Amino acid sequence: MNKINHIAIIMDGNGRWGKKKGKSRNFGHINGIKVIEKLVKDSIKIKIPIITFYTFSTENWRRPKREISFLFKLIDHYFNKEIDNLVKNNIKINIIGNIKILPQKVRTRLIESMTRTKRCKKILINLAINYGSKDEIINATRILKRKKGNVSIKNFEKNLHT
- Binding residues for Mg ion, per CB under 5 A? 12
Closest to Mg ion by CB, 11 vs 50, is 11
Instruction: List, in order, residues 6 or more apart from 104 with CB less than 8 Å away.
Output: none
Q: What share of the chain is helix, strand, coil (3-state, %, to 5)?
A: 55, 15, 25
Q: Which of 26, 31, 58, 60 binds ligand IPE (CB under 6 A)?
A: 60
Shortest distance (Å) from residue 53 CB to Mg ion: 13
**Phi-psi group of 130: left, alpha or beta (phi > 0 → left; psi -120 to 50 → alpha; rest → beta):** left
Ranges within 31-50 binding ligand IPE (CB under 6 A): 32
Catalytic: 12? Answer: yes
- Are 17 and 31 in contact by the 8 Å Cβ rule? The answer is yes
Closest to ligand IPE by CB, 27 vs 156, is 27
Catalytic: 84? Answer: no
Helix (H) or strand (E) holding 124: strand 123-131
- Binding partner selected for residue 131 from ligand IPE, Mg ion, none, CB under the kind-specific 5 to 8 Å limit: none
Helix (H) or strand (E) holding 25: helix 25-45
Ranges within 5-34 binding ligand IPE (CB under 6 A): 11-16, 32
Helix (H) or strand (E) holding 129: strand 123-131
- Count the residues of the shown chain that bind ligand IPE, applying the rule CB under 6 A: 10
Closest to ligand IPE by CB, 63 vs 116, is 63
Q: Which amino acid is at 107?
A: R
Binding site for ligand IPE (CB under 6 A): 11-16, 32, 56, 60, 71
